Amino acid sequence: MTSGGPLTTALGIAILAMLALTVLPAQQRETTTAVRASASTLTPLDYIEIQQLVRKSAWALDSGDNYGYAYADLFTPDGAFVGTNQGTEGRTIQGRDQLATLARGGTRGHTVQSHLTMNHIVKASGDGATGRAYVVVVDVGVVGKPNKVNHGGYYDDEYQKTPQGWRFKRRTYYESKVDVWPASAPRPGQ
């Protein structure tokens, strides 16, 4: 037992180390690989064009420009938007006319600025690129209402390069939701 103790401990440490290598750093390795892959397959202009696409989507959505088609035309012909916060099951909107209808719904116009997108990450993927961007939706200048943060979350995107440039193949919106609030972290209003 006395000689088996350290051996068992060493074996345990080795197994833990192997587990750590296979489980925890998997995401780390994936991140590193993705960054390397992106560096070799996406040029600076690809990054810039994808950044511009994401930024234009906020403009197109808030303005409802071109009767909503400015927004719809940022998607591939079979592109889809998924609003996971719409209804209990979420809602998928696919097709140019449907996306245009979405973009002209609600309060829209050239003087409406509501979707502030930030923190845009882009990675090369097998047949294009993927990305994520935070969005905070603010109410500013709404007649009769105070300026405030309305809601927010992030977009999960799939991009595809078309002859017309980069477009959304799929965009999924997730509303922000916290899972873990450590006891030591101050609560809102504290």
**Within 11-50, which residues bind other proteins (CB under 8 A)?**
24-25, 27-28, 31-32, 35, 39, 43-49
Q: Which is nearer to other proteins, 11 or 35 (CB)?
A: 35
Instruction: By CB under 8 A, name the one of 76, 104, 157, 170 that touches other proteins.
Output: 104
SS3 at position 82? strand
DSSP secondary structure letter of residue 115: E
Nearest to 94 by CA among 107, 103, 81: 81
SS3 at position 37? helix
Q: How many chain residues interact with other proteins (CB under 8 A)?
A: 81
Residue 128 in the binding site for other proteins (CB under 8 A): no
d(CA 1, CA 110): 78
Q: Which is nearer to other proteins, 94 or 142 (CB)?
A: 142
SS3 at position 43? coil
Contact stretch for other proteins (CB under 8 A) within 2-10, 11-19, 91-99, 114-122: 114-122
Cα 87–Cα 91–Cα 96 angle in degrees, nearest 5? 145
Find out whether 79 and 95 touch, Cβ atoms under 8 Å: no
Question: Minimum Å distance from CB 36 to other proteins?
Answer: 8
Question: Minimum Å distance from CB 189 to other proteins?
Answer: 7
Instruction: By CB under 8 A, name the one of 83, 94, 142, 160 that touches other proteins.
Output: 142
Residue 110 in the binding site for other proteins (CB under 8 A): yes
Question: Minimum Å distance from CB 180 to other proteins?
Answer: 5
d(CA 23, CA 145): 49
Residues 65 to 94: which contact other proteins by CB under 8 A?
65-68, 70, 73-74
Question: Minimum Å distance from CB 132 to other proteins?
Answer: 7
| Residue owning tokens 């079979």 | 78
SS3 at position 29? helix
